[in-house]
Amino acid sequence: MITLVAGSVVVAFEEVCPDRIDLIHKNYRKLCNLLVDVEEWGQVVIISMLTRYARTQFTSPWKEGASFEENNEKAFYASDSEEKSERTEAEAYVMDPDHRLLLRNTKPLLQSRNTAVVMSVAQLYWHLAPRHEVNLVTKSLVRLLRSHREVQYIVLQNIATMSIQRKGMFEPYMKSFYVRSTDATHIKTLKILTNLGNEAHISTILRGTYVKSQDKAFAAATIQAIGRCATNISEVTDTCLNGLVLLLSNRDETVVAESVVVIKKLLQTQPTQHSEIIKHMAKLFDNITVRPHRPVVVPSAGRGPGAHLFFCFVLGPCRCPWPGPASCG
């Protein structure tokens, strides 16, 4: 009988007096043990409340490697060698039994048919589980990607945020985040692939398949993703730049214009090391007809030798507005 009303009781509590944490203390274990038997939407509310409660009452397992404040104060006047030994001998993190009870009783709910329940448990594990246990939620989140488009969108947005801090969680499932031609526009996202990208996996984005998409907005987003990869992964910067230069000859003006914008941002970091690319862009200057992006080619070289080289090609050495070498090769 209690399980039928538990969800409603917690909803009322959250509306009337959500800050009365003291009222949860004596009911905490009871709620943890009842959780599996409560109806689905009641589970969502209870998990949310228990997550908030646990974050304020238990030591964060994410701080396992940190030494305690007391240790730091004692070591303040100690020598370097004593500091190092105290840090090494710092007491290991030990999870409170009630903290473990919550994790143990919510774990089965990762198999729930209700998407909101799975997402609530994933949030709970993200905030409260030790680092080596957070990965338990990965498979359940990936499973939700086979659901309705609205669900896919919410799950992808959450995974994109999580993958920024914990890319190792989702690397084994990288193929699950490939964009399909049948995907709805609002689901087509390359944020996760960009976050997970490394020298070995980045070829998926660079292959050019996504750039050829009939969805112009997605094609532009792909080029922006290539730019982010070039910025984040130094090993593939030149490969990305060369690929973007090839796109300057694309028949699609939107692709060309977006490529120019991204190349501009990349060249501004190393303008003198890519003179050949600047020359190539200068030759294509008259072919770029998309009004908002055509002027971008001019400042893409920045100032200094790169700018002088560019203007010599576009205007001729005699009309170049900035001083530079006597001759431009």
Q: Which residue shows structure tokens 């090609």?
A: 313
User: Angle, nearest 10°, between helix axes 40-57 and 2-16?
Assistant: 50
Choice among 124-138, 248-262, 312-326 with the minimum mean pLDDT? 312-326
pLDDT at 118 (0 to 100)? 96
Q: Looking at residue 183, what is its pLDDT? A: 83
Taking CA atoms, 286 is separated from 247, 268, 289, 295, in Å, by: 16, 22, 7, 11
Looking at residue 120, its pLDDT comes to: 96
Average pLDDT over residues 100-106: 96
Residues 6+ apart with CB under 8 A from 123: 47, 48, 51
Residue 61: per-residue pLDDT: 86
Pick the more confident residue, 129 or 314.
129
Q: How far apart are CA 155 and CA 250, in angstroms?
A: 34
Q: Residue 115 in 3-state DSSP?
A: helix
The whole-number pLDDT of residue 280 equals: 65
The arithmetic mean of pLDDT across residues 17-32, rounded, is: 91
Give pLDDT tens digits for 236-276.
Answer: 888 888 888 888 777 887 888 888 888 888 877 765 566 66
User: Phi/psi at 89 (nearest 5 deg)?
Assistant: -90, 10
Q: What is the mean pLDDT of residues 97-120?
A: 95
Q: What is the pLDDT of residues 136-182, one digit of tens each?
A: 999 999 999 998 999 999 999 999 999 988 888 998 888 888 888 78
Residue with tokens 């390359």: 190
